[in-house]
Amino acid sequence: GDSVTQMEGPVTLSEEAFLTINCTYTATGYPSLFWYVQYPGEGLQLLLKATKADDKGSNKGFEATYRKETTSFHLEKGSVQVSDSAVYFCALIYTGRRALTFGSGTRLQVQP
C-alpha cells in the first residue's frame, strides 16, 4: 500500500539555520504531495503542495520539490525562526481517492 516516511524528530535548530525535513513516499502512480504544519494545540494547516513531477511548492519561505525519480518531497527553508517551531507532516493523495496518507510527523524546535 501507499506510505509516507519522514525523518525522525525532534529536529532542533538555532534561529536562522537552514532546515531540511526529509520525506519519501511509496506509491503506485503519481499522487499529489503536501506539507502540513501543526502549531502547538492547533489543527493542521496546509503549508504547500505539488501536483506533478518537478513541481515546486512554496509558502512562507518554505519550499519542496516533487522528485519522481527519488520519490521524495523534502521540505526546506533557508533561515528558520522561533515561530516555525511546530510539527510538520508530509502527505499524499491520489486523484479520486478520499483519504490523505500522512507521515508520522517531524517536530521542529527552533531555539533563539
Partner 1 sequence: SQTIHQWPATLVQPVGSPLSLECTVEGTSNPNLYWYRQAAGRGLQLLFYSVGIGQISSEVPQNLSASRPQDRQFILSSKKLLLSDSGFYLCAWSPSSVSSYNEQFFGPGTRLTVL
Binding flag, residue 3, partner 1 (CB under 8 A)? no
75 and 36 in contact (C-beta within 8 Å)?
Answer: no
- Residue 22 in contact with partner 1, rule: CB under 8 A: no
Is 42 a binder of partner 1 (CB under 8 A)?
yes
CB of 112 to partner 1, least distance (A): 25
Instruction: Map residue 98 onto helix, strand or coil.
Output: coil
Q: Could you give the string, one character per residue 59-88, with x where binding to partner 1 holds by CB under 8 A and - elsewhere?
A: ------------------------------
Exposed / middle / buried, residue 89 (Cβ in 10 Å: 0-12, 13-18, 19+): buried
How far is Cα 61 from Cα 94, in angstroms, rounded to an integer? 26
Query: Which residues of the shown chain bind partner 1 in the complex (CB under 8 A)?
Result: 32, 34, 36, 41-46, 49, 51-52, 89, 93, 95-100, 102-105
